[in-house]
């Protein structure tokens, strides 16, 4: 099996719920071993796409092949080789932490000794061994998410699908989860994730698509997307809120591009410090000035005219 074997191939993929079109014709190819991300705001169609790939939602149009099979006909066979970590925790609250893994493993047809062995390994992997006998409702959000990740790995999936894996987690919990996902990636597990956090996409994804209102607006590696759709640096300026438009006109020429946000101006330029200096020399005194590297947030803002976080 070559490194460029496609695990997911979507062409013109569509999904409608009644009159609402959630996914409006997307082309995606995910190759074995890569970490692939869908970046976009809430409601962009990321989760709908994930559900179709996970063979739990029939496509409304286009073609879709997952692991070389058709999800409509071969759902069970596809699902037996996928790991799914949904956005909302679907842990079984009537079972203990360890029982959640045991029962789930049995759904994949694993023998009892095998599933017991894997459950203990996975509890260690997500650092939950000491909570094995706890009831699920006693766990914090971060621990629940870790258990969900462990559960999704019980069948040793070829591709792990994570829908907004760190939404709602505190920074420490996020970093621990990122670390575990990074290890999986190094072991050769293909990762497919959705996120509306640009730092998450930058940390984890080899390649990603930016998705907005059901269509793909850009595709590439994080670095490549920033290169193609933004400048190297950004100068963030905050003035008194009432005169942003007037100020914007005066400093427009200082950068390659300028964005006016409700609370600040963003000037895109190769050299952010030079912009900051030129602003001061022009007689303007912003309340605060911040020079930083461009991120995927800037890419998204440029491509859609909207912020990811909203």
Partner 1 sequence: MAAPAVRPPLGRFAAQHLVERNYLVYRRDWVVFVTGFLEPLLYLLSIGLGIQQLVDDFVLPDGTRISYTEFVAPAMLAASAMNGSLFDATFGVFFKLKYEKVYDAVLATPLRPVDVAVGELVWSLLRAAIYAAAFVAFMALLGLAESWWALLGPLAAVVIGYAFAGAGMALTTWMRSWQDFDFITLAVLPMFLFSATFFPLDRYPDAAQWLVQLTPLYHGVVLCRGLTTGAIGLEMLVAVGYLAVMGTIGLAVACRRLGALLLR
CB of 98 to partner 1, least distance (A): 11
By CB under 8 A, is residue 72 in contact with partner 1?
yes
| Residues 61 and 136: beta-carbon distance below 8 Å | no
Of 63, 107, 170, 179, the residue at the interface with partner 1 (CB under 8 A) is: 107
Residues 157, 83: Cα–Cα separation, whole Å: 5
Count CB-CB contacts under 10 A for residue 161.
24
Count of residues that bind partner 1 according to CB under 8 A = 36
Q: Is 146 exposed, middle or buried (0-12, 13-18, 19+ CB in 10 A)?
A: buried
Of 13, 23, 26, 54, the residue at the interface with partner 1 (CB under 8 A) is: 54
Among the residue ranges 4-12, 38-46, 69-77, 176-184, the one whose residues contact partner 1 (CB under 8 A): 69-77
> 86 or 214, CB closer to partner 1?
86
| Backbone angles phi and psi of 210, in degrees to 5 | -95, 125
CB of 109 to partner 1, least distance (A): 5
| Residues 150 and 125: beta-carbon distance below 8 Å | yes
By CB under 8 A, is residue 88 in contact with partner 1?
yes
By CB under 8 A, is residue 76 in contact with partner 1?
yes
Among the residue ranges 2-10, 95-103, 244-252, 264-272, the one whose residues contact partner 1 (CB under 8 A): 95-103
CB of 277 to partner 1, least distance (A): 55
Of 24, 27, 41, 103, the residue at the interface with partner 1 (CB under 8 A) is: 103
- Nearest 10 degrees: Cα torsion 120, 180, 141, 23: -120
Among the residue ranges 50-58, 124-132, 225-233, 281-289, the one whose residues contact partner 1 (CB under 8 A): 50-58
By CB under 8 A, is residue 77 in contact with partner 1?
yes
Q: Which long-range contacts (CB under 8 A, 24 or more apart) does 269-274 make?
A: 269/231, 269/232, 269/233, 269/234, 269/235, 270/231, 270/232, 270/233, 271/232, 271/233, 272/233, 272/234, 272/235, 273/233, 273/235
Residues 266, 247: Cα–Cα separation, whole Å: 12
- Classify the C-alpha dihedral 175-92-195-7 as positive or negative: positive
> 79 or 302, CB closer to partner 1?
79
By CB under 8 A, is residue 261 in contact with partner 1?
no
Binding site for partner 1 (CB under 8 A): 17, 51, 54, 56-58, 69-70, 72-77, 79-80, 82, 84, 86, 88, 90-95, 99, 102-104, 106-109, 151, 155
């Amino acid at each position: 099996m070559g490194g460029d074997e496609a695990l997911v191939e979507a062409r013109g993929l569509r999904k409608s719920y009644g009159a609402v079109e959630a996914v409006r014709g997307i082309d995606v190819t995910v190759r074995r071993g890569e970490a692939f991300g869908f970046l976009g705001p809430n409601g962009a169609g990321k989760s709908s796409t994930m559900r179709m790939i996970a063979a739990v939602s029939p496509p409304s149009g286009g073609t879709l092949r997952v692991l070389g099979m058709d999800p409509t006909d071969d759902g069970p066979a596809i699902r037996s080789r996928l790991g799914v970590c949904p956005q909302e925790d679907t842990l079984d609250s009537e079972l203990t932490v360890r029982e959640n893994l045991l029962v789930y493993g049995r759904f994949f047809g694993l023998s009892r000794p095998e599933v017991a062995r894997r459950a203990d390994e996975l509890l260690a992997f997500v650092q939950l061994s000491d909570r094995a006998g706890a009831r699920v409702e006693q766990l914090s959000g971060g621990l629940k998410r870790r258990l969900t990740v462990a559960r999704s790995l019980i069948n040793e999936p070829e591709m792990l699908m994570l829908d907004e894996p760190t939404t709602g987690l505190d920074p420490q919990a996020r970093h621990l989860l990122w670390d575990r996902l990074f290890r999986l990636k190094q072991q050769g597990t293909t990762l497919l994730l959705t996120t509306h956090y640009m730092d998450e996409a930058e940390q984890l994804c080899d390649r990603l698509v930016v998705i907005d209102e059901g269509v793909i607006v850009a595709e590439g590696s994080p670095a490549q997307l920033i290169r193609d759709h933004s400048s190297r640096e950004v100068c963030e300026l905050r003035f008194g809120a009432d005169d942003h438009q007037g100020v914007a006109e005066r400093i427009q020429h200082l950068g390659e591009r300028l964005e006016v946000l409700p609370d600040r101006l963003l000037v895109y330029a190769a050299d952010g410090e030079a912009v900051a200096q030129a602003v001061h020399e022009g007689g303007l005194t912003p309340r605060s000035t911040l020079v930083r590297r461009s991120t995927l947030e800037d890419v998204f803002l440029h491509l859609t005219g909207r912020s990811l976080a909203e």
